[in-house]
Amino acid sequence: MTRTMTFDVISDVVCPWCVIGLLGLERALAATGDVVTPVIRLQPFELNPDMPAGGQDIGEHLREKYGASAGSGGEVRERIRTMAAGLGFDMAQRPGARIYNTFDAHRLIDWAAGQGKALPLAHALFRAYFTDGRDPGDPAVLAAAAQAAGLDGADAVIAGDARAAEVRAAEERWRTDGITSVPSIIVDGRYLIQGAQEPAAYERAIRRIAAEAA
């Protein structure tokens, strides 16, 4: 007998750990189908809400935001790339990579949720940014991701401000609730799983929560 559980996945489109977190969660959920019927709800979080159009060089951004040197973080980047590869995702590294504003991507994901297509859209946007090096705020990139996810009617959403108020309200709610980093996963509105985990760690947490709720 399985029970339905909700998973609010709070993440940003340009966060590499969010890719690993979502893929790891999905793999864990595939392994826990004997106890859980999952409902995944993608929730917005902007790491850089003030990022201007066109974005910023990642190295420059890291120096300004974290004081990181140009050569620092190589081991972390390689770890991220290796973990992503283990989950079947190509986290490409290329010179001149940039960080971008993701508000419009979050608007589109929020809209896609109403069509039951938020997850395939998020995956398409992850590939566009991390694998292909494209700007997830570019209307053409958003349109291509929507098409890849099988969404119709996305052009009007991209061109306008649909779901803007809802995304802003959701972001504020999560910050008010104390979410300051992503990925953060809230299970059934009660249990917080912080940070990207290996699938096995997610599976243990899911089984423990399911047992407690039984």
Distance CA 144, CA 205 (A): 35
Q: Considering only residues 154 and 71, tell me which one the structure prediction assigns the higher pLDDT.
A: 154
Residue that has been written with the tokens 């709800």 in this structure: 41
Measured from the Cβ of residue 153, the count of other Cβ atoms closer than 10 Å reads: 9
> According to the model, what pLDDT value does residue 118 have?
99
Distance of CA 167 to the CA centre of its chain: 14
Please report, as a single letter, which amino acid is at residue 81: R
> According to the model, what pLDDT value does residue 68 have?
64
Band (pLDDT 50/70/90 cuts) for residue 212 is very high
The mean pLDDT value for 83-107 works out to 94
Residue that has been written with the tokens 């993440």 in this structure: 11
Query: Measured between alpha carbons, how far is residue 191 from residues 9, 41, 205 in Å?
Result: 12, 15, 9
Helices (H), 14-114: 16-31, 58-66, 74-86, 103-113
Tokens of 26: 């999905």
- Report helix, strand or coil for 37: strand
> According to the model, what pLDDT value does residue 94 have?
78
3-213: which CATH topology? Glutaredoxin (3.40.30)
8-30 per-position pLDDT tens digit: 999 999 999 999 999 999 999 99
The mean pLDDT value for 62-73 works out to 70
110-158 per-position pLDDT tens digit: 999 999 999 999 999 999 999 999 999 999 999 999 999 999 999 999 9
- Taking 80 as the threshold, does the pLDDT of residue 71 lie above it? no
